[in-house]
Amino acid sequence: MPHRFKLELASPEKLILNKAVAMVTVPGGQGRYGVLANHAPMITTLLPGVVDVYEQDETTLSERVFVSGGFAEVTGARCTLLADEALPVSKIDRVAVQEEIKSITDELDNAGETTPREALEARLAIARAKLRAAA
């Protein structure tokens, strides 16, 4: 049996995961990376994307969770993910996300010079990442 470590994934609303796992892959700010037991300590940002959880071993995917962004702290014994938003990929409603993308795109098209476009563009990037995750 592979070495295991503790994975905690939380959003502002609730604790999503709190379990021992063999491996997790994370959409980090510098690229996607994997975490195994005894990983070097680090703190990174999370980009919108999917966290893949391998509970039993490093080859059998057990869970996929979409995160919209946030932070990760990794130590040799723990990986803590603090996500702005997190939900199981299986719970993503593709139709609702497509409608959200259309709505945000319309807002961007109609945005005036005083509208903060960066916030709309960030929301659009998250929605597009969510749609890719559900594909």
Provide CATH code, domain 5-89.
2.60.15.10
Pairwise CA distance, residues 112 & 125, whole Å: 20
Contact status, residue 64 vs residue 52, Cβ threshold 8 Å: yes
Pairwise CA distance, residues 54 & 52, whole Å: 7
Residue 24 phi/psi, 5-degree rounding, is -145, 140
Q: Which two tokens stand for residue 13?
A: 């609303």
- pTM, two decimal places: 0.90
pLDDT tens, residue by residue, 70-102:
999 999 899 999 999 999 999 999 999 999 999
Pairwise CA distance, residues 36 & 34, whole Å: 7
User: For residue 118, what pLDDT is reported?
Assistant: 87
What is the domain partition of the chain in residue ranges?
A: 5-89, 92-134
What is the residue-level pLDDT of the chain in tens, covering all 135 positions? 568 999 999 999 999 999 999 999 999 988 999 999 999 999 999 999 999 999 999 999 999 999 999 999 999 899 999 999 999 999 999 999 999 999 999 988 887 777 678 888 999 999 999 999 998
Contact status, residue 77 vs residue 3, Cβ threshold 8 Å: no
Q: Which two tokens stand for residue 45?
A: 């940002």
Give the residue carrying structure tokens 């990037």. Answer: 125
